[in-house]
């Protein structure tokens, strides 16, 4: 075998390896696009008005105890970004995988809404919607107050507490807020008829009502 023949053989082998590598990469790309297409269809089944425009998307769910959760995000292509959440590993991604999307068969799954904005307005609008849903009493699954640049701040629920007592106090406030919301909507809290006029029972009622109080200025 001449040196020229050996060289041609090596070149052919290298070209074959490159071709196989390119084929594998293309196959992976096709598979990823197929998964993305399927995930987009899942979101469109929940909200057929979703699109690829730039804007804000809002994921919400209510569990069997009527606790409400929300996640607000921004994207240059909203529908594509939503599809990516179903294959990611962030907190909201894992929650989407665990609880699924809303349907008649899955009433405690995530629902989704979106609002179109120009790319220049995304940071401002993301911060606006995060604050709005926080003020509405939703437990946010965002780790920050929004935006990709200036004005970005860590949300209180994820802020490291100074100590054990601070953690207990924050947990008490979060629970009080949820219980107060449920009581306002669905419950009438009062003494049992046989306990009427009982000083001890009256003090316990006052104590219970105090537990439902929370400081919503924080």
Phi, psi of 163 (to 5 degrees): -170, -175
How far is it, in rounded angstroms, from Cα 209 to Cα 93?
37
**Residue 27: per-residue pLDDT:** 76
- b/e sequence 130-153, b meaning 16+ C-beta within 10 Å: beebbeeebebbbebbbbeeeeee
Alpha helices in 100-198 (DSSP H): 122-135, 164-186
What's the whole-number mean pLDDT along residues 25-39?
A: 84
CATH class for the domain made up of 55-158? alpha beta
| pLDDT band of 152, cuts 50, 70, 90 | low
Phi, psi of 97 (to 5 degrees): -70, -40
More confident residue, 49 or 218: 49
| pLDDT band of 187, cuts 50, 70, 90 | confident
**Residue 49 DSSP SS3:** coil
Laid out side by side, the sheet with 68-75 consists of: 111-116, 55-62, 68-75, 139-140
Phi, psi of 191 (to 5 degrees): -75, 150
Please determine, for residue 158, whether its predicted confidence score (pLDDT) is greater than 50. Answer: no
How far is it, in rounded angstroms, from Cα 103 to Cα 47?
11
**Residue 23: per-residue pLDDT:** 52
The H-or-E segment that residue 116 falls in is strand 111-116
| pLDDT band of 161, cuts 50, 70, 90 | very low
How far is it, in rounded angstroms, from Cα 49 to Cα 77?
14
**Residue 145: per-residue pLDDT:** 67
Please determine, for residue 9, whether its predicted confidence score (pLDDT) is greater than 90. Answer: no
| pLDDT band of 217, cuts 50, 70, 90 | very low
The closest of 38, 59, 164, 62 to 112, measured between CA atoms, is 59
How far is it, in rounded angstroms, from Cα 135 to Cα 28?
44
- Cβ atoms 74, 56 nearer than 8 A: yes
Spell out the SS3 assignment of 82-109. HHHHCCCCCHHHHHHHHHCECCCCCCCC
Name every residue whose Cβ is closer than 8 Å to that of residue 162 and which is 6 or more positions away in sequence: none
- For the chain, domain boundaries: 55-158, 164-211
């Amino acid at each position: 075998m001449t040196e020229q023949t050996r060289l041609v053989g090596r070149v052919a082998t290298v070209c074959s390896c490159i071709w196989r590598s390119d084929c594998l990469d293309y196959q992976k790309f096709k598979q990823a696009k197929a998964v993305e297409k399927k995930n987009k269809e899942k979101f469109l089944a929940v909200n057929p008005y979703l699109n690829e425009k730039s804007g804000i998307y809002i994921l919400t769910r209510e569990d069997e105890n009527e606790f409400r959760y929300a996640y607000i995000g921004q994207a240059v292509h909203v529908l594509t970004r939503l599809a990516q959440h179903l294959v990611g590993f962030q907190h909201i991604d894992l929650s989407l995988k665990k609880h699924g999307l809303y349907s008649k068969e899955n009433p405690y799954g995530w629902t989704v809404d979106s609002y179109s904005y120009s790319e220049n307005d995304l940071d401002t609008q993301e911060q606006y919607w995060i604050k709005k849903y926080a003020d509405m009493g939703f437990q946010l699954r965002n780790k920050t107050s929004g935006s990709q640049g200036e004005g970005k701040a860590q949300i209180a629920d994820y802020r490291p507490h100074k100590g054990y007592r601070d953690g207990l106090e924050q947990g008490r406030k979060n629970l009080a807020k949820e219980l107060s919301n449920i009581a306002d909507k669905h419950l009438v809290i009062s003494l049992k008829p046989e306990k009427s006029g009982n000083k001890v029972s009256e003090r316990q009622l006052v104590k219970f009502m105090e537990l439902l109080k929370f400081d919503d200025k924080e």
